[in-house]
Structures are given as C-alpha cells and as structure tokens.
Amino acid sequence: MAANMTDLVPGFRRKAEQLLKRCRQRGIEMRPYFTLRTPFAQAKLWRQSRSIEEIREKVGELRDGGADFLAYCLESVGPQHGDHVTNAPPGFSWHQWGEAMDCFWFVDGKTEWSTTKRIDGLNGYRVYAEEATDLGLNAGGLWSSLKDWPHVQFRSASNPGNIFGLREIDAKMKERFGG
Ligand SMILES: [Zn+2]
C-alpha cells in the first residue's frame, strides 16, 4: 500500500490533511491507503477487465494521438486479470497527478468497507464525502455512476482529459515516470 501524503501536490495535501482531521473530530478515523499511483499501475488496473481487442484499440488510439509513453505503459505491463475497477487509462486518473487519495474507514482496529453501516448514527464514508465536499474537494462517493467511496480528488474535473490534451498528459507522465 503506497499512501505517502508527501506524494500529493501541496494544495491537495493541505486539504487532505484537513479532511482527515475533520473526520477525526466527528469520531471517524479514515486512513489513507492510496495516494500516488504510477501510470504503469493504472495500466494494470485498466487492462484487467478488458479484452485484448479493446486494449489494442486503446494502444492504437494513444499512438495515433501522439501519446507514445502512455501507449508504452499500457503495452508493457502485459496481460492482467480482474474485475472492472476503473474507467481511466494510464495518465487519466488524478492518482497519477498526486491529486487524489483513497482512504478506508478504521473501526475498532479493523478496516470497515461498508458504506451503509452506521456507528453512533454515522457512516465513515458518508462523513468523509460530506466533509470533502465542504472543503471544496471532489468526493467519489457522490459521483452519479461508478461510485468510489474511498476516493477524493483535488479538482472537480472528473479526469485530466477534461482539462488537458492527450499530448500534454503524455508529456507530463513521461516527465514524472519515464525516467
Ligand atoms: Zn482513488
């Protein structure tokens, strides 16, 4: 589990720390388990639920768009198997930008994943999403489709592709992870 808060961009890190503090003040302990995810790790997650045809198509689309590094990320990780967990190809999750964090609810020394169970009237994930929103963060638990309760991100744009062009994303990822 890679959850180093120092991997986050400073503006987001400050708010993320405030968020955890506000949760604690309401008796909810949320523990970060994911902050930065490399484009290679994202490529594994993206590939794991997709057919080889879909993967080839995406690699071609990235190459055609001038995103050779992202295409390389997707190809180089090899075959993966698992559930559908993300819509974001490499570079397209804010986790690659240090602008997202995932936390679990920690109750009586154990990880609690239930988003409906209440303790003293409160569910940790609901409090977390509510406080995140109040701090101006974007809470995955409040998304209309494919809800992601552990996830909060810095920007309201659902993914970097809404703000940056493909070449820009490719350049940014290559600069940070291509060395
Ligand atoms: Zn996340």
Tell me how far apart the alpha carbons of residues 153 and 55 are, in angstroms, rounded to a whole number. Answer: 26
Please tell me the distance between residue 95's alpha carbon and the centre of ligand 1 in angstroms: 6
Structural contact between residues 170 and 66, judged by C-beta atoms closer than 8 angstroms:
yes
Please tell me the distance between residue 150's alpha carbon and the centre of ligand 1 in angstroms: 7
Please tell me the distance between residue 179's alpha carbon and the centre of ligand 1 in angstroms: 24
Return the pLDDT at 2.
52
The angle formed by the CA atoms of residues 165, 152 and 82, to the nearest 5 degrees, is 80
List pLDDT tens digits, range 15-59. 999 999 999 999 999 999 999 999 999 999 999 999 999 999 999
List pLDDT tens digits, range 90-137. 999 999 999 999 999 999 999 999 999 999 999 999 999 999 999 999
Please tell me the distance between residue 54's alpha carbon and the centre of ligand 1 in angstroms: 23
Question: With bands split at pLDDT 50, 70 and 90, how would you rate the model's confidence at 179?
Answer: confident
